[in-house]
Amino acid sequence: MTIRPTTRTPFAILGVLAMRPMSGAEIRRWLDERIGNFWRESSGQLYPALTELTTQKLVRSSPRVHLGARGRPATEFTITAAGRVALTRWLEAPVASEPRRIELLLKLFLAAEDPRQSLAHLARCRAEQLELLSHYARIDEELEHLAVERPAESAKFRVTLRYGVRVADALLAWTDEAAGVLSAGAAAELAVPRAERR
């Protein structure tokens, strides 16, 4: 197995296929619908990774008897024993730290003294969080039946969903606070005579 530890896409695929065999389109749809609130994979990442996993014999591909959504023959992917070993090793490894690169904070820090641009960025961020919270509420309602049918799976969904809710709540509070601080700072700056400003 030669998957680079910094490449997460193959492991996301292996994790999905550990549940059941799927076509590439089904994997993409599952990722979007089930964990899209915290993990995204584009087709440009997904299909090359499937090819590489098949080459490394971590996944086996076979033609599906039934046609795909567009009436074409679909390829079905199944995780192999070696794939399960690779997935288990990755799941047991420590979580890698991500580099901190937050464009919003960079723009706020480098912005001119006039806070209008920064306040507009903060307003957009606030609107995004409200939209996310509405989306999370809909997901939470859909999980009600899963809690009865498959409680262990429901618990995993709820843990990741609550993370998203907590982050969105925190960002909402922060955008309000930041807007107030920047507005107050700009007002105080204007109150200082121009000759006294550095």
73-79 and 22-23 beta bridge pairing:
antiparallel
In tens digits, the chain (198 residues) has pLDDT values of 566 655 899 999 999 999 999 999 999 999 998 888 889 898 899 999 999 999 999 999 998 766 555 666 789 999 999 999 999 999 999 998 888 899 999 999 998 777 899 999 999 999 999 999 999 998 888 888 777 788 888 888 889 999 999 999 999 999 999 999 998 876 665 555 555 555
- Residue 166, Cβ neighbours under 10 Å: how many? 10
